[in-house]
Amino acid sequence: MTFIADVSTAKIADLVVIKDGSVADGAMANTLRVKVTDAFGNALAGQTVSVSADNGAAVAATVITGPDGTVEITVTSQTAGISAVAASINNSTLNQNVTFIPDVSTAKIADLVVIKDGSVADGSTANTLRVKVTDAFGNALAGQTVSVSADNGAAVAATVITGPDGTVEISVTSQTAGISTVTATINNSTLSQNVTFIADVSTAKIVDLVVIKDGSVADGSTANTL
């Protein structure tokens, strides 16, 4: 005598993550395994399971269980962070989270903006810029070392390290009034912005006084000149 599983009571018995932490490059996949059984725990083959994922992740809309009632679900994304994956059959649903990480190998300077400009050229009052580093898909990259340089005699730290949001501020000082070009670089990616330093009026002084014409006639109109 043979008993068969009760397909009418098909349910999601289990949903487990078997690979997690993949790079958010749209190709590397996180993987889950879903198991379908009947109400009494008997594995159900050939069952169509509906699948969905949030936060921009991509999955096949359906998967079909194998002889042991299980099937793997692959999930890809170009968005770093957590994606909730849902597997459903009939009115039975289970959810699990998977995590995608930014692709450090594609780190680039996504933005460089001036947030304070027009500081006094006194060697201590700083102009400030903010640099942002992302991967190729725009995911913020923390802990990245950005090389920094500035011309026209301006002083900057040689490197800065990005924070959790992928940004870090760059302070620039100078004793030379005028425009300084600040450049931020990571890998082969570079952006530049200009900042302006102004002369320090508070330290105005006479730096030179020279005679350029002397010995003029004392006629009340012919001038000596300095």
Q: What is the mean pLDDT of residues 111-135?
A: 99
For the four alpha carbons of 106, 110, 115 and 120, in that order, the dihedral sign comes to positive
Structural domains of the chain, with CATH: 7-100 (2.60.40.10), 104-203 (2.60.40.10)
Strand bridging mode 70-75 / 30-37: antiparallel
Q: What percent of the chain has pLDDT over 90?
A: 84
Q: What is the pLDDT of residue 225?
A: 63
Q: Is the pLDDT of residue 201 over 80?
A: no
Q: What is the pLDDT of residue 222?
A: 73
Closest CA to 149 of 112, 105, 181: 181
The CA angle 126-129-130, to the nearest 5 degrees, is 140
Quick: pLDDT tens for 68-121. 999 999 999 999 999 999 999 999 999 999 999 999 999 999 999 999 999 999
Q: Is the pLDDT of residue 181 over 70?
A: yes
pLDDT averaged over every residue in the chain: 93
The number of C-alpha atoms within 13 Å of 99 and in the hemisphere containing its C-beta is 4
CA 34 from chain centre, in angstroms, equals 33
